[in-house]
Amino acid sequence: MSGTLYGIGVGPGDPELLTLKAARLLGRIAVVAYPAPLQGDSLARSIAAPHLTAVTDEIALRMPFDPEKRADDVYDSGAEAIAVHLAAGRDVAVLCEGDPFFFGSFVYLFARLSERFPVEVVPGVSSVMACAAVLGHPLTARDDALTIIPAPRPEDEIERLLEGSEAAAIMKLGRHLPKVVRVLERLGLTDKAVYIERAGQPGQRMRSLAEAAAEGAPYFAMILVHKRGKAWI
Amino acid sequence: MSGTLYGIGVGPGDPELLTLKAARLLGRIAVVAYPAPLQGDSLARSIAAPHLTAVTDEIALRMPFDPEKRADDVYDSGAEAIAVHLAAGRDVAVLCEGDPFFFGSFVYLFARLSERFPVEVVPGVSSVMACAAVLGHPLTARDDALTIIPAPRPEDEIERLLEGSEAAAIMKLGRHLPKVVRVLERLGLTDKAVYIERAGQPGQRMRSLAEAAAEGAPYFAMILVHKRGKAWI
C-alpha cells in the first residue's frame, strides 16, 4: 500500500487562517515537503509550524526567487524524493501557501505524481479573499464576473481581461506594476482600484496605488478592482 | 463604544474547512446572524454550530429560495436588527458560507452597515477551491487567467468570458446548465470541463457533464474548465 500525497493549503499568511482540517492532518503527518528560498525559511512551513508535531522527515524544494522562471529540475528531484516516501507507504504533506490548486507549486508536484499515487487536496483560504478582507473590499455580488489576472501577462491582454468583467484581482505585481497602472489609467479605473502587499503576512502594508506606483511593489502585491466602485450591491 | 460587525467565512460546507480564527471568534460571540430559508435550517449556521458556545441571540435572515431574486427588505430589516446590538456595544458575527466577500449575503449587510460601525472580515475557503480539491482539478498554474462566471449571465456574455481566459469556474448553475453546455459545445470545451454539485456539503455528487445536462442541476453546482485539459503545467 502506497502512502497518500496530501496537498495542504495553509492559507495566505496569518497562522490563524489555517483550516481545522489542515491542522488535524498536519498533527499526524511524519513527512512534509514545502517550497523554500535557496537560503532561509519557507513561508509555508512557518505558517504550519505550530502543528508539525509528528514530523520526522522534511523535504525543502529550494528554488531561486524568480517566480516567473520555471524550476522544472527542482520539481523533478522534489517529486522523486516525495515518491520514495509514498512508495514506502508513508503519507507526505506538501505545504502550500494559500490554496494548493490556485497558482501553487503543488500543481507542479501533482502533475508529476498524481498518476502514480493517491492524492488528497485540502483547500485553503486564497490570497485574493485575504486581500479583500483586509482592504474591506467586497469582490463580487449579484452576478458579477471576477477575473484573476497575473500581472506578468502582456499589457494588451491585461487590458482585454480587465475590460471583460465587472471585477478583477491582479496578482504577482512586482516590476509589472507600472504596466498595470498604465492599463488602469487608460480604462479610467484607477479610482476603482485598491492596492495591498503581503496581506496577512509579516510586512503587510497598504499604500495608495499612486504611492506604490512611484516607489515600486513586491511580488506578493495585489490590486483589486470593482467597476461599481463602492456601490457594492 | 459600538460593537464590531464580523463577517465570518465558515467555508464551503465541510465543518473542518472552517479556519482556526473563525472557530476562535465564534466561541466568544454572543450575537450571530445568518441567511436561512423561509423554513428550516441555515447551512451556514449548521457548519458553525459546534463552535457557537456563547450565543445568546440569533438573527435569521429568512428569505425565499430564489437566489436570483433580490431580497432588499430582508436585508433592510436584518441590518436594523443587527444595528441594535452593535449600537448597544455588542459584537455581531454574520455567518457566511464560503467567503464573506465572494457572492455572499454579507456584502448586502456590509453595504448597509459599514459606514456606521467597525467591520472585520474573516476570509474563508471558497466553493471554487473546494470544488477543485474534490475533483482533483488544478485551477491555475503559470500565468493563467481564471474567470469566475455566474451562470445566470446571458449566453453571449458567458461565451465571451469563457473565450477570454485559460481557466474558468461557472457557478450557480441550476436551470442555466443547458445554456452553459451549449456554449461549451460551441467552443469545443466539453472535454475540458468537469462538473460537481454541493462540494463538501451533505449531498455532494459528481456526475459527468452529459448526465447532469440530461437530468438537471441544483443551484449549488459548478463547472470548472481548463483549456489545457489535463496538461496542468
**Binning pLDDT at 50, 70 and 90, where does residue A71 land?**
confident
All residues of chain A having their beta carbon less than 8 Å from the beta carbon of residue B14 are 21
pLDDT over 90, % of chain A: 92
In this complex, the residue of A18, A138, A140 whose CB is nearest that of residue B19 is A18
Residue B190 Cα, gap to closest chain A Cα (Å): 21
All residues of chain A having their beta carbon less than 8 Å from the beta carbon of residue B23 are 20
B contact residues 122-161, partner A, Cβ 8 Å cutoff = 122-126, 129-130, 132-133, 136-150, 152-153, 157, 160-161
All residues of chain A having their beta carbon less than 8 Å from the beta carbon of residue B229 are none
Whether B64 shows a pLDDT value over 90: the answer reads no
**Binning pLDDT at 50, 70 and 90, where does residue B182 land?**
very high
Whether A67 shows a pLDDT value over 70: the answer reads no
Q: Does B4 touch chain A (CB under 8 A)?
A: no
Instruction: Convert the pLDDT of each residue in A14-60 to its tens digit.
Output: 999 999 999 999 999 999 999 999 999 999 999 999 999 999 999 99
What is the C-alpha to C-alpha distance for residues A11 and A8, in angstroms, rounded to an integer?
A: 9
- Indicate if the alpha-carbon torsion angle A171, A111, A35, B15 is positive or negative: positive
What is the C-alpha to C-alpha distance for residues A167 and A173, in angstroms, rounded to an integer?
A: 17
* Mean pLDDT value of segment B137-153: 97
* Mean pLDDT value of segment B74-100: 97
Whether B219 shows a pLDDT value over 90: the answer reads yes
Whether B192 shows a pLDDT value over 80: the answer reads yes
Q: Does A119 touch chain B (CB under 8 A)?
A: yes
Strands (E), chain B: 5-9, 31-37, 57-63, 92-96, 119-122, 146-150, 167-171, 193-197, 221-226
* Mean pLDDT value of segment A80-97: 98
Whether A70 shows a pLDDT value over 90: the answer reads no
* Mean pLDDT value of segment A92-116: 97
> What are φ and ψ of residue B84, in 5° steps?
-60, -45
- Contact yes or no for A143 and B150 at CB 8 A: yes
All residues of chain B having their beta carbon less than 8 Å from the beta carbon of residue A146 are 102, 147-148
Whether B69 shows a pLDDT value over 90: the answer reads no
Q: Which has the higher per-residue pLDDT, B100 or B63?
A: B100
**For the ranges A51-60, A73-82, B70-79, which has the lowest average pLDDT?**
B70-79
Instruction: Convert the pLDDT of each residue in B149-170 to its tens digit.
Output: 999 999 999 999 999 999 999 9
Instruction: Convert the pLDDT of each residue in A146-199 to its tens digit.
Output: 999 999 999 999 999 999 999 999 999 999 999 999 999 999 999 999 999 999
Q: Which has the higher per-residue pLDDT, A196 or A64?
A: A196
Quick one: cell of A106? 503543488
Quick one: cell of B205? 455528487
Quick one: cell of A40? 532561509
Contacts of A32 (CB under 8 A, 6+ apart): A26, A45, A48, A52, A55, A57, A58, A59, A92, A93, A94, A95
Quick one: cell of B99? 467567503
